[in-house]
Amino acid sequence: MIKHLKKYSLLSILIFPCLAFAGDNNKINSLANQFMQENNVEGLSIAVINNNQITTYNYGYANELTHTKTSNKTIYRVASFSKTYAATLEALAQIEGKVKLDHSITDYLPGLTNDALKPITVKMLVAHTGSLPFDFNPTPENYTEAIADLNKLKPQATPGSEYSYSNVSIGLNGYILQNVYGQSYDNILQNKIAKPLNLHSTYLHLPPYLESYAALGHDPDKIRPYDKNVDVWFAASSLKSNINDMAKFVRAQFNDNFDDKNLVKAFALVHQNYYCFANGISCEQLGWQAHTMTELNNSVGDTYFKYFDANGSSIFTPQKIVNDNTLKNKAIFIDKTCSGYGMSGYMLYDPAHKVGVVILLNKSLGAERVRLGRDILRLQSL
């Protein structure tokens, strides 16, 4: 099924010639080829970011049925990477005076009248500490149905007391942003993030001229054609992007060499350790998670992921929140996973050394792509 693995493409922005760099290329190629063979992956794109430099690697096929190879233009559904964009926009809204992160979500969501949800703040939504479910069953079809479900909900725990991963939480941020800006989410995204960072292929609703670059997805047991639909929790899971844009986005987390100073401030606001776990290993930021550098050697995969339930929903192990910043003065890395629509990915970076990695593939996988990303980041952080 996998053909021509050794005929990878290597495209780069600002490649610098040195023996160490060539050695890293060989190691990355070896890791990528092994990963694809062991997991029966058709198409894979990798970006390595070193301060301002981005190097991209593309392997296999974006669509094996049409013999279309992966490239920097290949579009992937980036699923939960969407959450990091939503978190950035919410931080910008705070900076621009549109929202208060510490105010109740009931201030910003028309029709939400459930008193039990008043203690939930906007910040809790973005950091998965609002004690909301991963999703409702069945998933609501629209905002009206979502609010109806929320008005009947009793939080699973005291808001702010535990981390519990939730599409509902970040999904609601999309509606908050549309309400406070009076614009569509796609317009907000383009004006506030895509244009300042020169992201040309990152959209909620992909323009028709880019659809020809969309990768063919693969679930474990079947092919999954590109799905352009946008679901009710669009801010949590519906973005489309390519390896170039995702690399630029990761670079912006630690390299503020761009003109939009409000966006620089937003990234700084995003990457504070707001809710730290009792285990002393991780802290929840806004849309991202920080870990002690010792976790980089963890080969288990996503630290808190447990399994997919019968409905295909991700189940994560809840984590008790403590008041202390347990990662203060510790070496850390910051990461985010994504999976869905027959595709998956992983992005992570070391803020101290200003190096990062992005992985996108057209197959839905779990721990394996996390291990690959961490293996590659270790090469850069040594």
Q: Determine the pLDDT at residue 258.
A: 87
> Average pLDDT of the chain?
92
User: What is the distance between the alpha carbons of residues 21 and 16, in angstroms, rounded to a whole number?
Assistant: 8
Determine what percent of the chain is predicted with pLDDT higher than 90: 84
Query: Does 265 or 22 have the greater pLDDT score?
Result: 265
- Beta-strand (E) ranges in 231-366? 239-241, 275-277, 282-284, 289-292, 305-308, 314-316, 319-322, 332-340, 343-350, 355-361
pLDDT, average across residues 280-308: 86
User: What is the distance between the alpha carbons of residues 101 and 109, in angstroms, rounded to a whole number?
Assistant: 14
Asked if residue 138 has a cis previous peptide bond (ω within 30° of 0), the answer is yes
Q: Determine the pLDDT at residue 300.
A: 62
The answer as to whether 362 is a domain residue is: yes
User: Does residue 138 carry a pLDDT above 80?
Assistant: yes
Q: Determine the pLDDT at residue 274.
A: 98
The answer as to whether 339 is a domain residue is: yes
Q: Determine the pLDDT at residue 218.
A: 98
Q: Determine the pLDDT at residue 261.
A: 95
Q: Determine the pLDDT at residue 73.
A: 99
The answer as to whether 314 is a domain residue is: yes
User: What is the distance between the alpha carbons of residues 140 and 79, in angstroms, rounded to a whole number?
Assistant: 18
Residue in this structure with the two tokens 């050695």, named with its chain if needed? 23
What count of other Cβ atoms lies within 10 Å of the Cβ of residue 180? 17
Element (H, E) at 46: strand 43-50
The CA-based dihedral angle spanning residues 292, 45, 185, 192, taken in that order and rounded to the nearest 10 degrees:
70
The answer as to whether 3 is a domain residue is: no
Q: Determine the pLDDT at residue 223.
A: 97
Name the band, by pLDDT with cuts 50, 70 and 90, for residue 5: very low
Residue in this structure with the two tokens 């899971």, named with its chain if needed? 237
The answer as to whether 355 is a domain residue is: yes
pLDDT, average across residues 191-204: 98
User: Does residue 279 carry a pLDDT above 90?
Assistant: yes
Name the band, by pLDDT with cuts 50, 70 and 90, for residue 22: low
The answer as to whether 2 is a domain residue is: no
pTM of the model: 0.93
The domain total for the chain is 1
Instruction: Write the CATH number for 266.
Output: 3.40.710.10
The answer as to whether 144 is a domain residue is: yes
pLDDT digits (tens, 9 = 90+) for 150-174: 999 999 899 999 999 999 999 999 9
The answer as to whether 151 is a domain residue is: yes
Q: Determine the pLDDT at residue 311.
A: 66
Name the band, by pLDDT with cuts 50, 70 and 90, for residue 345: very high
pLDDT, average across residues 310-324: 83
Determine what percent of the chain is predicted with pLDDT higher than 70: 92
Name the band, by pLDDT with cuts 50, 70 and 90, for residue 326: very high
User: What is the distance between the alpha carbons of residues 198 and 357, in angstroms, rounded to a whole number?
Assistant: 19
Q: Determine the pLDDT at residue 301.
A: 63
Q: Determine the pLDDT at residue 256.
A: 86
Name the band, by pLDDT with cuts 50, 70 and 90, for residue 381: confident
Q: Determine the pLDDT at residue 306.
A: 81
Pairing type for strands 319-322 and 305-308 reads unpaired
Q: Which domain holds residue 364?
A: 9-381
Give me the sign of the Cα torsion angle 82, 287, 358, 258: positive
